[in-house]
Structure 1
Amino acid sequence: MRFRCALTLGFFLLSLVGEVAPAFAEGYKIALYVNTVSQNEEEYRSAEQAAKKYPDKIVFQTMPDNFMKEQETLIANAVSMVADKSVKAFIMNQAVPGAAAAFDKIRKERPDVLLIAINPAEQDVISSKADVVIQPDELAMGYKMIEQAKKFGAKVFVHYSFPRHMSYPLLARRRDILRQEAEKAGIKFVDATAPDPTGDAGLPGAQQFIIEDIPRKVAEYGKDTVFFSTNCGMQEPLIKTALEQGAMVVQQCCPSPFHAYPGALGIQIPPDKAGDVEYVISQIKEKIAAKGGSGRFSTWPVPAAMLSTAAAVEYSIAFAEGKTKGRNDPEALKAAFQKVLGSTGIDIHNYVEKTADGKEKLHENYYLILCDYITF
């Protein structure tokens, strides 16, 4: 299935942070299990905004920061969120490692609960565990990033990741696409290994590596070098250091004006501008221009993580009120996205897996989204 939507940016903002929505049928709740601010602020803020919009319906909780070492806690907290029988849907953003096991336990105890996984790590099994899966189209990004890098006049593309992320099928396939497309475009591809933020050095160690390594790479390859990392926690130092070094960034791992750009550029967002995409975009452009980086940085004009949560909430409401045709209803999901989408067109289609024997397997409940870029 593929469909294309285009609504106004203002409507997207109103949908996210507008007035409290009117109460619907009483007696149900939607549980949101999200990352902490330090791991991914957009995911956390998206839960806050959902709770603000539907205060009587939304309950949310954060995952452990070091979820890889606290798997038992991660899973136990997920199960505890659906202990309340009024919870009819469980949304996990991000669906980090451990989500599949958590969904299995929830399914065993509460088979009636709708399970939605956003941006999953366990991509090879998650569609069999969740009812609906949503994530940015990682594979198509491989083509789009090199197209954008070529428009920037890039000569080198540096891809930072680590073994845990490269064990994710879509991220590994995207890395291969990036390498392939870079070669076609005459751009040198550098596959660089960074520390895993969940390792012994933690997120601070991974961030420090980025701060120290980008200047080394620029000294080696020159300023017409695009830097990209697969990890959320690395985005802020990556953007900041790339700008200081005169390099390039085509997008973050989770593309959005809100993801890392404000922090990297020292943008203070006043309360009356919270969630204002157009304001943040104007501030980013101004800050980048002041440091001579215009035309060398870009992202999606729509916050992918926030959009996914908002659409998942609207879909869950429809499900809880009996307005969907089963657990996986493509048209109802389309309507949910239409309710919260911004002005830029978005493609949404099903994930097609390439199996070990070279065959293609369609996942009818696994939806991929892709936006155009905005260049600062």
Structure 2
Amino acid sequence: MNLRKLAIGLLAASTLFVACGKKEAPVEAQETKTEQAVENKNYHIGVITTTVSQSEDNFRGAEAVIAEYGLVKDGGKITHVTIPDNFMQEQETTISQMVSLADDPDMKAIFTAEGVPGTYAAFKAIREKRPDIKLIVNNPHEDPEMIGQVADVEINPDFFSRGYLMVKAAKDLGADKFMHISFPRHLGYETIARRRTIMKATAEDLGMEYIEMSAPDPVSDVGVPGAQQFILEQVPNWINKYGKNVAFFATNDAQTEPLLKQIAAHGGFFIEADLPSPTMGYPGALGIEFTDEEKGNWPKILEKVEAEVVKAGGAGRMGTWAYSYGFASVQAGVDLAIRSIEEGIALNDLSEVIKSYTKYTPGANWNGTVYVDGNGVEKDNIFMLFQDTYIFGKGYLNMDKVEVPKKYLNLKN
């Protein structure tokens, strides 16, 4: 009987527990949890960008996250450093500026908007000095697989999927030829070279003529002015030779502006830039200026650029991404860092990366893949990301929903 009474008593106690709902945790456990939550809020994030003269979108993206989270010196979360404009010749300065962020004991994550040469050395030193700091790299200039060894997550614009998607979009819009414009230095980059191989194979499979065109390198003796002048002079000649149903793509940002100017004036197609944005090339090509209120407001920027493109006769022929990749990447990178620190999300989760990008680009869809090296091996912390293509006067093409055949992604140079 005693055992029976004990069992009934335990059953009644458990029933009462369920009926009354979840019991409060012990005071001691609650205090520990609260302390941990407060500790998780007291952290800093380092944001590294180039200067406004090198990449305005990256710099403005840093301004946006500073406005959202505040500077450390003002009691906020963000420490922003800019690397030298001449980072190729000033790598020691670049490395020291990056590594100096780890001197802050409250630094818990570092994001770099562009993994310029020197990033690997800097992040390797940070990793050895402060293994607790989360490291996020966007758009690396150094070998992706090497950077992936020192970063928690590496994000790239999806060169490979876009190699197929840009050509397919051009075909769908009415182009029958695809011209790839580049120079030897860029073609020495593994990502650019593989993308060119994919573009060529896609064009041929879709029954389009593929045209390889060489242009002057802006860092050569002719400089940016000479490289741009070449494009200005040659595009009308190319259109006369190949017709108006040719789609153009240049691997260099500086050559995008004159390319857009001449396509708007003479015909042809332009799907999107190497690093797409409504502000990439279009303002200079079409004489567009933005007010202070419009800067950083991408829907307003897109609307203004679209009006000028349509006015110039480029409707249905010229496109972009609706949001700047560089600007959105800074916002998304900081959001990833914060959610990793506060919520414990895994940085090497593609769905979480896309979630952060989508948060800051309402109306635009993203997709992506895990990076696959030349031997077909997936690198689970390296992601290739792309935004749906927006064609002025037409709208989104839903390219994010197009499945890229694996045979193209497996192509080698």
SS in 1 for 2:112: strand
Higher helix share: 2
Which aligned pairs between 1:336-375 and structure 2 lie closer than 5 A? 336-355=356-375, 360-375=376-391
- Structure 2 residues not aligned, in runs of 5+: 1-37, 71-75, 393-413
- Would the aligned equivalents of 2:336 and 2:347 in 1 still touch at CA under 8 Å? no
Q: Which residue of 1 aligns with 2:96?
A: 76
Measured against aligned partners, the alpha-carbon deviations of 1:187-234 in whole angstroms (never above 9, x if no partner) come to: 222222333334444433433333233233223323322221222233
SS in 2 for 1:76: helix
- Would the aligned equivalents of 2:358 and 2:366 in 1 still touch at CA under 8 Å? no
SS in 1 for 2:149: helix
Distance 1:140 1:318 in 2: 28
- Would the aligned equivalents of 1:68 and 1:198 in 2 still touch at CA under 8 Å? no
Q: Which residue of 2 aligns with 1:36?
A: 51
Distance 1:232 1:96 in 2: 16
In the alignment, residue 365 of structure 1 is paired with which amino acid?
N
Distance 2:184 2:95 in 1: 23
- Would the aligned equivalents of 2:159 and 2:191 in 1 still touch at CA under 8 Å? yes
Q: Which residue of 1 aligns with 2:274?
A: 253
SS in 2 for 1:103: helix
Which aligned pairs between 1:312-331 and structure 2 lie closer than 5 A? 312-321=333-342, 323-325=343-345, 328-330=348-350
Measured against aligned partners, the alpha-carbon deviations of 1:137-156 in whole angstroms (never above 9, x if no partner) come to: 11110111111111232233
Q: Which moved more, 1:304-313 or 1:232-241?
A: 232-241
1:172 aligned onto 2:193: yes
- Would the aligned equivalents of 2:186 and 2:251 in 1 still touch at CA under 8 Å? yes
Q: Which moved more, 1:238-247 or 1:179-188?
A: 238-247
Distance 1:169 1:192 in 2: 18
Higher relative contact order (CA 8 A, sep 6+): 1
1:282 aligned onto 2:303: yes
- Structure 1 residues not aligned, in runs of 5+: 1-22
Measured against aligned partners, the alpha-carbon deviations of 1:85-136 in whole angstroms (never above 9, x if no partner) come to: 3322221112123322222222233322211111122223221121111122
Alignment CA distance shift 1:234-1:69 (3 Å): farther
Q: Which residue of 1 aligns with 2:64?
A: 49
Distance 1:216 1:143 in 2: 27
Distance 1:171 1:115 in 2: 25
Q: Which residue of 2 aligns with 1:234?
A: 255
TM-score (norm 2): 0.77
Measured against aligned partners, the alpha-carbon deviations of 1:306-325 in whole angstroms (never above 9, x if no partner) come to: 2222111011112333x225
SS in 1 for 2:80: strand
SS in 2 for 1:31: strand
1:265 aligned onto 2:252: no
Distance 1:227 1:372 in 2: 18
Alignment CA distance shift 1:206-1:58 (3 Å): farther
Root-mean-square deviation (CA, aligned residues, Å) is 2.4
Distance 1:82 1:336 in 2: 24
Alignment CA distance shift 1:38-1:24 (3 Å): farther
- Would the aligned equivalents of 1:164 and 1:196 in 2 still touch at CA under 8 Å? yes
State, as a whole percentage, how many aligned pairs show the same letter.
38
Q: Which residue of 1 aligns with 2:31?
A: none
Q: Which residue of 2 aligns with 1:89?
A: 109
Q: Give 1 or 2 for the bigger CA radius of gyration.
A: 2
SS in 2 for 1:95: coil
| Pairwise CA distance, 1:249 | 0.9
Distance 2:177 2:354 in 1: 38
Q: Which residue of 2 aligns with 1:118?
A: 138
In the alignment, residue 351 of structure 1 is paired with which amino acid?
Y
- Would the aligned equivalents of 1:39 and 1:232 in 2 still touch at CA under 8 Å? no
Alignment CA distance shift 1:337-1:273 (3 Å): same
